[in-house]
A and B are shown apart, each in its own frame.
Chain A
Amino acid sequence: MEVYMQKRITFSRDLSILGHRLLSSQQEQSHQDSAVTNKKDTMLSAFVAKRLVNGVCQASWRPAVAELVTTRGYKGEAPDDSRGDLIEIPLPPWTEKDGETMDIKRRRLLFQSRKRGMLENCILLSLFAKQYLNTMTEHQLRQYDRLINEPSNDWDIYYWATEAQPVPDVYTGEIMDLLKEFTKNKDQEQRLDAPNLEYLDKGSQ
């Protein structure tokens, strides 16, 4: 109990630090592109909201808005994540590619679906791409492009697809819904591996 009380104190201390950072980052970025600031705001406020909810949740291993730590299986005592690197070392913002035909976009997204950071995403996204990529509309392709290329941590995409974590507003939409549904595996099919590419070979069909 004592340890838990100390954790709650840490949460509220973190919150004040976060609040301060949110303000200062807003000030810093006010001279930059407003689109970037808005996106960062959304991500940071979603994060702050999550921290608030966590602070409020009582001793449950899987609170309503799950901490990243507890959902990843048994890792023992894993301390909190201050996310300092994400806040203080912003990477160049992701931008959409101009002048790409839909066909080329599909080819690019196929490669980017099959080659991911960890096996779970490799299998999930390549199966998803096999099912949906060739019939996506332009709008859906753009959503998918953003979903698989903008997040910096591949695990996040896996947690959103498995509904272990809430999806940030910027990624909600048709494609995210399709992915979540697909991930549930309602037909309980065996997903042993990423599919071979030959389903694309028109010549063999």
Chain B
Amino acid sequence: MAAVCTASRVLAKKVLSAKAIPAVSQSSRKLHFSVYGKNNSKVSDGMSTQYPVVDHEFDAVVVGAGGAGLRAAFGLSEAGFNTACVTKLFPTRSHTVAAQGGINAALGNMEGDDWRWHFYDTVKGSDWLGDQDAIHYMTEQAPHAVVELENFGMPFSRTEDGKIYQRAFGGQSLKFGKGGQAHRCCCVADRTGHSLLHTLYGRSLRYDTSYFVEYFALDLLMEDGECKGVIALCMEDGSIHRFRSKNTVIATGGYGRTYFSCTSAHTSTGDGNAMVTRAGLPCQDLEFVQFHPTGIYGAGCLITEGCRGEGGILINSEGERFMERYAPNAKDLASRDVVSRSITIEIREGRGCGPEKDHAYLQLHHLPPQQLATRLPGISETAMIFAGVDVTKEPIPVLPTVHYNMGGIPTNYRGQVITHTTEEGDKVVPGLFACGEAACASVHGANRLGANSLLDLVVFGRACAHTIADICTPGEKLSPLKPNAGEESVANLDKLRFADGNMRTSEIRVNMQKTMQNHAAVFRTGKVLKEGCDKMDAVYQTLDDIKTFDRGIVWNTDLVETLELQNLMLNAVQTINSAEQRQESRGAHSREDFKDRMDELDYAKPLAGQVRKPIEEHWRKHTLSTVDPKTGKVTLKYRPVIDNSLDAEDCAAIPPAIRSY
């Protein structure tokens, strides 16, 4: 409703005359693509081939209203830009709301702290695949960003003296790893994600940001290698909207839903990555997918590490506490990637649990029921609701679960989307920006540290807004756009809406998810990955045989889920092909057949006398993947990691070293 009011308010400023464009030659259905003003359009729920198109003009368009999108939209509106925010979900319902941890920032409220130590932790955490200029930018800006949020009204939890309370979180240390655990994570009790969304959404409304809620962005409008806006479907009435703008910011989140088991909501479908891929631009480092060791089997809901902290143990089909073999000292409390790998090995070797022997059990019933009820009350409810399991009697089925995507749309530290050629190096794509989980700046490199994600959202959302404010002024005239720009997207929409093949959306989706889960999960080997690539290619081809059942245009969930499947598929093929090619183990990408990291020098040995390998012979480089959407063929290129910080004197870059904790 708000969207309709907003849209008509915008249209009052810009009324267009009706123009009819002849039918698209490619589709067999006669498709009329006509541009009407909103007041004149009539859309029925019947089988109409008419797609009324409404044009909007803005100074900036943000796609996605999660933490990063809202921060960018707010920053742009505050700077005076006429900003539109196009989102398929109501802002406070974005996946950011699931975040309960906090935001890392070296404020130094709990003990002396320095952002350079945070910089070191992040570089090391990324296994030296992160771009150090972007990491420098993020960790240096972190305290400013948190203080800024506080000024916007975010009620961070406080210590008794009224300073922002900071808690400990994994991977954070003092004095470059030598000073013990750091307490850097600022939070709003346990609803940091929600508070961030609520605060930014509320504040942005005061600056007159236009929200187009429950509009599904279909594609970017690209012309001559420049991004000129976005085309979207309004779910409420089935109309098509073209948002023309000089600056488009993509903040659409991750793509956990390519896997059978993930902790992400059903909205994490990689829409932004797919839009960029269809525009012919590359995505970066998609093979780096972070797995959390204990998500509920099937459902994927996160079972917190605290369960194991309270005495819960992982067992296999033989009832054995297998972690004792893999990590004799830490046992079930070994680091996340070690536990994930151990569970996967047990399953591969035939000791998995359940009828399909495809998961492990997390046993809690040996703990006193009182302890379960008081220390872990949420777990009992979640296990009952999603696994039908009474934790006082039975174990919970768990599986390493996809949790975060380190890869995404490649950007520089200012949030501008880049492409790369060996001759010219990095080149900015004019008019296109990206931030948040959808982007790859790259601050997380091969592995993300906890509580760095919310920081990433806020810092780079802000960076996009600042960069746009630097290079543009509000009210600039837009360059002309071809009258039939976006036609292919609408043709695709129409094709899917009336698709009548043999395979349902849900069937193809489950095939993709199972292929990814079986072939590109925690445990990767060349043979298994190659099989997976071939299977994934076959699944991709079945998209041509898809069958949808809802022919309507208003609130057509079947159509939206099918569009999302197309997007997921593009992400999946890139992920598995990139993983198959990368012959080393680094961060979250671990290969059983190539167990070591392969850098330009062997950092395990003394460096003197070693010859630096050329980039073609080592793996400390970013993967850039592109797809031909018609065939599903993936092409891979590589790009060097940025090893220098923004200011060598202020913050020395960290040379690679062996990563041990």
Q: In the bound complex, what is the Cα–Cα distance between A193 and B541 (angstroms)?
A: 25
Query: What residues of B have a CB within 8 angstroms of the CB of A121 in the complex?
Result: 265
Considering the chains assembled together, what is the distance between the CA atoms of A80 and B155 in angstroms? 10
- Tell me if A's interface is mostly helix, strand, loop or mixed: loop
Q: Which residues of A contact B11 (CB under 8 A)?
A: none
Chain A residues whose CB sits within 8 angstroms of the CB of B56 once the complex forms: none
B98, B298, B373, B377: the one within 8 Å of A118 (CB): B98
One of A29-37, A47-55, A66-74 at the interface = A66-74
Q: Give complex CA distance A122, B561 in Å.
A: 14
Say yes or no: A80-B157 contact (C-beta < 8 A), given A72-B190, A115-B88: yes
Contact of B549 among A83, A192, A198 (CB under 8 A): A198
Q: With A79-B189, A84-B153, A91-B201 as given contacts, are A62 and B374 in contact (CB-CB < 8 Å)?
A: yes
**How far is it, in angstroms, between the C-alpha of A107 and the C-alpha of B155 when the chains are bound?**
37
B97 x A110 contact (CB < 8 A): no
Q: Which residues of A contact B374 (CB under 8 A)?
A: 61-62
A26 within 8 A of partner (CB)? no
Size of the chain A interface, CB-CB below 8 angstroms: 70
Is A78 located at the chain interface by the 8 A CB criterion? yes
Evaluate contact between A95 and B1: CB separation under 8 angstroms: yes
Q: Is A86 an interface residue (CB 8 A)?
A: yes
By the criterion CB–CB under 8 Å, are B378 and A191 in contact?
A: no
- Is the beta-carbon distance between A107 and B557 smaller than 8 angstroms? yes
Asked, given contacts A89-B153, A115-B88, A197-B557, whether A78 binds B265 with beta carbons under 8 Å apart, the answer is: no
Pairwise interchain contact B160-A6, C-beta atoms closer than 8 A: yes
Task: Give the residues from 344 to 379 in chain B that come closer than 8 angstroms, CB to CB, to chain A.
Answer: 373-379
Complex: how many Å from CA A192 to CA B297? 7
Do B299 and A193 touch across chains, with their CB atoms under 8 A apart? Answer: yes
Determine whether the beta carbon of B376 is less than 8 Å from that of A85.
Answer: no
A28 located at the interface, meaning its Cβ lies under 8 Å from any Cβ of chain B in the complex:
no
Which of the 9-residue segments A38-46, A134-142, A147-155, A167-175 touches chain B?
A147-155
Residues from chain B with a CB closer than 8 A to the CB of A91 are 92, 198, 201-202, 205
Q: Is the CB of A192 within 8 A of B298?
A: yes
| Size of B's binding interface in residues, CB under 8 A | 85
Is the CB of B637 closer than 8 A to any CB of chain A?
A: no
In the assembled complex, the Cα of A87 lies from the Cα of B203 at a distance in Å of 13
> What 0/1 readout, one digit per residue, does chain A (182-205) give for beta carbons within 8 Å of chain B?
011100111111101110110110
| Residues of chain A lying within 8 A (CB to CB) of residue B267 | 115-116, 122
- Of the candidates A78, A83, A123, A154, the one whose C-beta lies within 8 Å of that of B155 is A83
Contact (A155, B310) CB under 8 Å given A72-B378, A85-B153, A118-B95: no
Name the B residues within 8 Å of A123 (CB-CB): 299, 301, 386
Q: Which of B199, B386, B506 contacts A120 (CB 8 A)?
A: B386
Chain B residues with CB under 8 Å of A70's CB are: 377
Beyond A152-B92, A198-B504, is A81–B189 a contact (Cβ under 8 Å)? yes
Q: Is B505 an interface residue (CB 8 A)?
A: yes
A185 touches B385 (CB 8 A): yes
Q: Is B141 located at the chain interface by the 8 A CB criterion?
A: no
Which of the residues A84, A104, A116 comes within 8 Å of B93, measured between beta carbons? Answer: A116
Q: Is the pair A71, B377 in contact by a Cβ cutoff of 8 Å?
A: yes
Of A92, A115, A121, A200, most B-chain CB atoms within 10 Å: A115
Candidates B153, B235, B385, B554; contact of A191 at CB < 8 Å = B385
CB-defined contacts of B205 to chain A, threshold 8 Å: 91-92
Counting chain B CB atoms within 10 Å of each CB, the highest count among A75, A95, A108 belongs to: A75
Q: A73-B377, A79-B165, A198-B549 are in contact. Are A119 and B93 (CB under 8 A)?
A: no
Question: A81 and B188: CB pair below 8 A?
Answer: yes
Closest residue of B by beta carbon distance from A7: B160
A119 and B377: CB pair below 8 A? no
Chain B positions 540-560 with a Cβ under 8 Å from a chain A Cβ: 549-550, 552, 554-558, 560
* Complex-state Cα separation, A121 to B236, whole angstroms: 22
Within 8 A of A (CB), among B432-447: none
Contacts of B212-230 to chain A: CB distance below 8 A: 214
Q: Which of B308-357 contact A (CB under 8 A)?
A: 309-310
Would you give the shortest CB distance from B645 to chain A, in whole angstroms? 33
- Nearest A residue to B236 via CB reads A108
The distance in angstroms between the C-alpha atoms of A97 and B236, with both chains bound, is 11
| A62 and B155 contact, CB distance less than 8 A | no
Q: Which residue of A lies closest to B256 (CB)?
A: A119
Q: Is the CB of B160 within 8 A of A117?
A: no
Chain A residue with Cβ nearest B308: A74
B235–A111 CB distance below 8 A: yes
Q: How far is the CA of A94 from the CA of B96 in the complex (A)?
A: 21
Residues of A close to B561: CB separation below 8 A? 197
Which residue from chain A places its CB closest to the CB of B296 in the assembled complex? Answer: A192
Choose one: B158, B167, B390, B557; the contact of A114 (CB below 8 Å): B557
- Determine the chain A residues whose CB is within 8 A of the CB of B94 once the complex forms: 117
Contact of A82 among B45, B155, B300, B373 (CB under 8 A): B155
- Docked pose: A114 CA to B374 CA in angstroms: 32
* Structural contact, B98 and A117, CB atoms closer than 8 A: yes
CB atoms of A149 and B90 under 8 A apart:
yes
CA distance A117 to B196 in the complex (A): 13
Answer yes or no: B187 CB below 8 A from chain A CBs.
Answer: yes
Least CB distance, A172 to chain B, in whole angstroms: 20
Q: Which residue of B lies closest to A115 (CB)?
A: B267
* Residues in B neighbouring A119, C-beta threshold 8 A: 98, 262-266, 299-301
Among residues of B, the one whose C-beta sits closest to the C-beta of A95 is: B1
- Provide the bound-state CA to CA distance between A126 and B2, in Å: 24
Compute how far the CA of A2 lies from the CA of B361 in the bound complex, rounded to whole angstroms.
Answer: 40
A73-B378, A115-B266 are known; give 8 further A-B pairs, CB within 8 A.
A68-B190, A77-B167, A91-B92, A152-B194, A155-B191, A185-B385, A188-B390, A200-B550
A-B contact pairs, 14 of them (CB 8 A): A73-B304, A74-B305, A75-B100, A82-B155, A110-B557, A117-B93, A153-B191, A154-B92, A183-B385, A192-B297, A196-B506, A197-B558, A198-B506, A198-B549
Which residues of A are interface residues toward B (Cβ below 8 A)?
A: 6, 61-62, 68-86, 88-92, 95, 97, 104, 107-108, 110-111, 114-124, 126, 149, 152-155, 162, 164, 183-185, 188-194, 196-198, 200-201, 203-204
Question: Which 6 residue pairs across A and B have the least CB separation, nearest first?
Answer: A74-B306, A192-B298, A81-B189, A89-B202, A196-B506, A84-B155
